[in-house]
Chains A and B, each alone.
Chain A
Amino acid sequence: MAGSMELSLRLCPGAQAVPVLLDRLEAYAEETGLPMGPSQRLALVCEEWLANVAMHGTGASYAELSLWREPGSLHLRLADDGPPFDPLAAPPPDTSRPLEERMAGGLGLHLMRRMTRRLDYAREAGCNRLLAVLDVA
């Protein structure tokens, strides 16, 4: 197949980086023929990650993403130099509560976990590092 199946992006953490990120991921999905389902899951994992870096990472000077395809899967490496934040440590929201009791928090992390086959966190050399693997059916 023509074109690279890899993508690297370095972003300034903040809301203004979100449309840049999503546009690039949509272009990547189109160029590499990624189906709609995995494409949306990829965009979601990346947006939730970036939104978290922007929210918790006061002082993060960068947010870096690299992405590559393997047969049947998409691999994502995400890094930022903000304060330590382990997205796997947050308790999952109770998705069975009725409307009046549903709170809005914790949803992004829940989606990240559910949309990945594997999600590993490490704090290394002053950076948060996430490794995510998504299924491509």
Chain B
Amino acid sequence: MEIVEVRAEGATVAVLEGRLDTVTAPLVEARLLALLEEGAVVADLAAVRYVSSAGLRVLLRAAKQGMGSGRGFSICGLQSPVREVFEISGFDRIIPAYPTRAEALAA
């Protein structure tokens, strides 16, 4: 799992690449929560080919923190198998998701 941070206007984009699974989830969680201390975060998942329940839990925690602090957390660029996991979990209704990074940043 690679995480690249891109500063954009009004938010930091965390560009994730690889698998968001049991092993990589703690690293991603620490990074996202630290970034959320500073401001709004968009997690760009366009290069994430796999998300398991451990990955979903991380995004849920980030979304809760983003909402609680009022800073905002959203995701973008879900690949179709990843989107299926979100839909089955009902996460598509609780975590703001956008097709592209530009749309997430404009929201």
A binds B: yes
Asked if A81 is at the interface of the complex by the 8 Å CB criterion, the answer is: no
Give the dominant DSSP class at B's interface.
Answer: helix
Q: Assess the B64–A100 pair: CB atoms within 8 A.
A: yes
Q: Which residues of A contact B88 (CB under 8 A)?
A: 95, 110-111, 114-115
Name the one of B21, B64, B81, B84 contacting A47, with C-beta atoms under 8 angstroms.
B21
Q: Which residues of B contact A91 (CB under 8 A)?
A: none
For the side of the interface on A, what is the size category? 20 to 34
- With the chains together, A95 CA to B89 CA distance in Å? 6
Q: In the complex, how many residues of chain B place their beta carbon closer than 8 angstroms to a beta carbon of chain A? A: 28
- With the chains together, A102 CA to B36 CA distance in Å? 20
Q: Assess the A40–B94 pair: CB atoms within 8 A.
A: no
Cβ of A41 to closest chain B Cβ, rounded Å = 8
- With the chains together, A95 CA to B90 CA distance in Å? 5
Can you list 16 A-B pairs, Cβ within 8 angstroms, ordered by A? Answer: A18-B21, A18-B23, A19-B23, A36-B49, A36-B80, A39-B81, A40-B84, A43-B50, A51-B22, A51-B53, A98-B94, A100-B67, A104-B56, A104-B57, A107-B89, A110-B88
